[in-house]
């Protein structure tokens, strides 16, 4: 059985990833678990659109700013018209997870 993508914004997990990218100490096991939640949510956002936006459209996003924008967009509610580059969130989380898999 394959589980559905998370439908609720994983705020605590995003905060933990944000802590890591801004230089704070984060427990490795907790970071990996947080990354799993953020990655699943971001993949659900991308796949629900049926398109894969290009990376070039969103160049210039700092990792911290990207995660803070995602958090702000989620706080605006389900009707928010935010333009969060979820593909960049995916790339960021995969990069973080790869660091801990070696």
Q: Which residue has the tokens 């049926």?
A: 50
Alpha carbon distance 85, 45 (integer Å): 10
The domain limits of the chain are 28-75+83-99
How is 4-72 classified by DSSP, letter by letter? PPP-S--HHHHHHHHHHHTT----HHHHHHHHHHHHHHHHHHHHHHT----GGGGTT--HHHHHHHHHH
pLDDT at 7: 86
Q: What is the pLDDT of residues 58-78, one digit of tens each?
A: 567 889 999 998 898 887 665
CB-CB contact of 43 with 87 (8 Å): no
Checking if the pLDDT of 55 tops 50, the result is: no
Query: What's this model's pTM, rounded to 2 decimal places?
Result: 0.80
């Amino acid at each position: 059985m394959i589980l559905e993508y998370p439908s609720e914004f994983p705020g605590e997990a995003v905060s933990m990833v944000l802590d890591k990218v801004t230089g704070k100490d984060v427990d490795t096991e907790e970071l990996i678990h947080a990354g799993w939640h953020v990655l699943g949510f971001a993949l659900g956002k991308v796949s629900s659109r049926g398109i894969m936006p290009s990376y070039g459209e969103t160049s210039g996003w700092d990792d911290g700013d990207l995660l803070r924008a995602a958090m702000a967009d989620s706080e605006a509610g389900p009707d928010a018209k935010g333009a969060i580059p979820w593909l960049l969130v995916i790339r960021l989380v995969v990069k973080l997870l790869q660091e801990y898999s070696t």
